[in-house]
Amino acid sequence: MKASLIYLLIIVSVNTYSQKVATIELWPGKVPGETQEKQKAVIDTIKNDNTLRYSLVTNPVMEFFPASAASTGRAALIVCPGGGYNILAYDKEGTEIAKWLNSVGYSAFVLQYRVPDKRAGALQDAQRAIRVIRSNAKEYNIDAGRIGIMGFSAGGSLSARASIQFNTRTYTPVDEADSISCRPDFTLLIYPAYLDQGPDRTLTPELKPVKETPPMFLFETADDPYGNSALVMAGALRDAKIPVELHFLPEGGHGYGLRPGKTAAETWPVLAEKWLNSITGRKALK
């Protein structure tokens, strides 16, 4: 099947299957470490390029996109948009991804983690998101043992941190949900960034995999300036004997999401769906 036809099928499926429900607040009271008052995410108006960007998030939330009732699976993923930890490319690497996940049978939660320049807060938000979802799995009609995380660019960095630093307590518990594990069950990193900040572009030291690190899927291209991130992470996972699947295309650049025009954008969803179905034990939708 040609890549352009595959992309067309993805777009048709996205428009057919997706349904968004209520926004879920992560923190019932004060957001840990946050100095500003809670407010609705601020839209960035500097660029006008058909991408919705949030430039300020002080009240982290999730938007829940449930899978179609016709889906046979109950696995779900948290989607972490990228943006250099400065903004969130919220539709291109968030809601559009959630709709695609719906189209292939997975529920999705798009995470509005804190920006700008709040990496510690972002990890707190990701850990809290996993716990909130897992503690309410029955309500969301998902399997508490099949909750994954996926991210793009800086969102890939955040997803990697959440997948490796799940035993690190980053905030004081606020309710019963915080007694639950925040370890993702599986992880997808799509053109991840900032994973090679060790000496001589080696693995970022705090991202050394542990034996409980979940299996990972990585997708990258050789002409991406952040391309080394996926390589060093895949090597570290292999050395730690963590199941890992790496795809490395010759070109595609960075920041393409699902949007048409690049082979990379039309390729990774096909490979990711196959991997997801294998790791979660579900059959592909026809």
| pLDDT recorded at residue 285 | 58
- Banded model confidence at residue 71, pLDDT cuts 50, 70, 90: low
Per-residue pLDDT of 119-170, as tens digits, reads 999 999 999 999 999 999 999 999 999 999 999 999 999 999 999 999 999 9
- Banded model confidence at residue 6, pLDDT cuts 50, 70, 90: very low
User: Do strands 107-112 and 147-153 pair parallel, antiparallel, or not at all (unpaired)?
Assistant: unpaired
Domains identified in the chain, total number: 1
Is 56 inside a domain boundary? yes
Whether the pLDDT of residue 212 is over 70: the answer is: yes
Name the more confident of 234 and 45.
234
Alpha-carbon gap, residue 195 to 282, rounded angstroms: 30
| pLDDT recorded at residue 11 | 42
- Banded model confidence at residue 284, pLDDT cuts 50, 70, 90: low
Name the phi and psi angles at 8, rounded to 5: -60, -45
Q: What's the token pair of residue 156?
A: 């890939």
Per-residue pLDDT of 79-120, as tens digits, reads 999 999 999 999 999 999 999 999 999 999 999 999 999 999
* Residues near 211 by beta carbon (within 8 Å), at least 6 away in sequence: 240, 242
Q: Give me the chain's average pLDDT, please.
A: 92
Is 102 inside a domain boundary? yes
Is 221 inside a domain boundary? yes
Rounded mean pLDDT, 6-13: 40
The CATH number of residue 33's host domain is 3.40.50.1820
| pLDDT recorded at residue 275 | 98
> Is 254 within 8 Å of 248 (Cβ atoms)?
no
Is 60 inside a domain boundary? yes
Is 96 inside a domain boundary? yes
Distance set, CA 244 to CA 33, 129, 135 (Å): 34, 24, 28
Buried b / exposed e along 73-93 (16+ C-beta atoms within 10 A) = bbbbbbbbbbbebebbbbbbb
Q: What's the token pair of residue 128?
A: 């809290």
* Whole-prediction pTM: 0.92
Instruction: Look up the domain containing 64 and give its range.
Output: 3-280
Is 21 inside a domain boundary? yes
- Banded model confidence at residue 48, pLDDT cuts 50, 70, 90: confident
- The DSSP bridge partners found for residue 144 are none
Per-residue pLDDT of 171-207, as tens digits, reads 999 999 999 999 999 999 999 999 999 999 999 999 9
Matching residue, tokens 């470490």: 33
Q: What's the token pair of residue 185?
A: 């069950």
Helix spans in 62-206 (H): 96-103, 119-135, 137-140, 154-164
Distance set, CA 136 to CA 140, 145, 147, 262 (Å): 6, 12, 12, 38
Is 285 inside a domain boundary? no
| pLDDT recorded at residue 236 | 98
- Banded model confidence at residue 8, pLDDT cuts 50, 70, 90: very low
Per-residue pLDDT of 14-30, as tens digits, reads 444 445 568 999 999 99
Is 135 inside a domain boundary? yes
Distance set, CA 110 to CA 130, 206, 210, 255 (Å): 12, 25, 26, 17
Rounded mean pLDDT, 252-273: 97
| pLDDT recorded at residue 184 | 98
Name the more confident of 234 and 282.
234
Pick from 281, 277, 246, 225: which is nearest to 104 by CA?
277
Share of the chain above pLDDT 70, in %: 90
